[in-house]
Amino acid sequence: MRRIGKLAEGSLPLFISGNMEIKVPAGCDIKVEGNLVVATMSGESHKFPFNSRKVKVEVAGDLVKITPIKKLRRETHAVINSMAKHLGNVFKGDLAPYIKNLQVVYAHFPISIEVKGARVTIKNFLGEKLPRQADIVGKVQVSVSGQDIVVKGASKDAVGQTAANIIQSVKITGKDRRVFQDGIYQVK
């Protein structure tokens, strides 16, 4: 039995002897559809693809069983641990949402930010006339308060991707970053 990393209390097991069983909390519905695992918690659905040639995923009662199809190798081991971590992130995100804090920084031109539907609109960045836009992924909530932006949601992947979309939308190219430090940065 090989152990990977240190276990925190209440976390998923990160060691493998060939099979892994993950206990599903109450209120979560998990289905396997082809090479997708669909986890539904609090009315929100999360889909995770997996390599069906390397592992087999089965749902039995309140357990998700992940077993390798062939000999346990590095790639198979990585697929099993990835599935376990994705499911663990969904379970944790339902209990306490994931939060990313962003801050708007500008020197000369005041930047204004609006959230409309599934897009974040950044106006007057470096004095530009056309607004820049960033997509909101999934059911993530974006709130703006002055120069602070809070990205919050149940899916760790969706929260991280939304924050990255906002940060990348104001990326400055072709200018010296030491001089032009305007942008949106992640804090905390």
For 17, the token pair is 């002897």
Residue 73 has pLDDT above 70, yes or no: yes
Last residue of a domain, one of 95, 118, 134: 95
pLDDT tier at 66, thresholds 50, 70, 90: confident
Its sign, for the CA torsion 70, 75, 80, 86, is negative
pLDDT tens digit sequence for 81-106: 888 888 888 888 878 899 999 999 99
* The domain boundary residue, chosen from 71, 95, 119: 95
Last residue of one domain, picked from the residues 44, 64, 95: 95
Judge if 108 and 125 occupy the same domain: yes
pTM of the predicted protein model = 0.78
Helix, strand, or coil (residue 3): strand
Domain extent, residue 167, equals 98-187
* Tens digits of residue pLDDT in 166-181: 999 999 889 888 888 8
Output the domain CATH number for residue 116.
3.90.930.12
What would the mean pLDDT of 131-158 be, rounded to a whole number? 93
| Strand, helix or coil for residue 186 | strand
Residue 102: per-residue pLDDT: 96
Both 82 and 136 in one domain: the answer is no
Distance in angstroms (rounded) separating the CA atoms of residues 53 and 56:
8
> Are 142 and 126 spatial neighbours (Cβ–Cβ below 8 Å)?
no
Please classify residue 172 by burial: count the beta carbons closer than 10 Å to its beta carbon, then call 0-12 exposed, 13-18 middle and 19+ buried: middle
Residue 51 has pLDDT above 80, yes or no: no
Number of domains, the chain = 2
Q: Is 160 or 69 the better-scoring residue by pLDDT?
A: 160
Judge if 72 and 145 occupy the same domain.
Answer: no
C-alpha dihedral (180, 187, 44, 94), degrees to nearest 10:
170
Cα(105)–Cα(167) distance, integer angstroms: 11
pLDDT band, very low/low/confident/very high, at 69 (cuts 50, 70, 90)? confident
Residue 17 has pLDDT above 70, yes or no: no
Task: Tell me the percentage of the chain whose pLDDT exceeds 90.
Answer: 37
Average pLDDT, the chain: 85
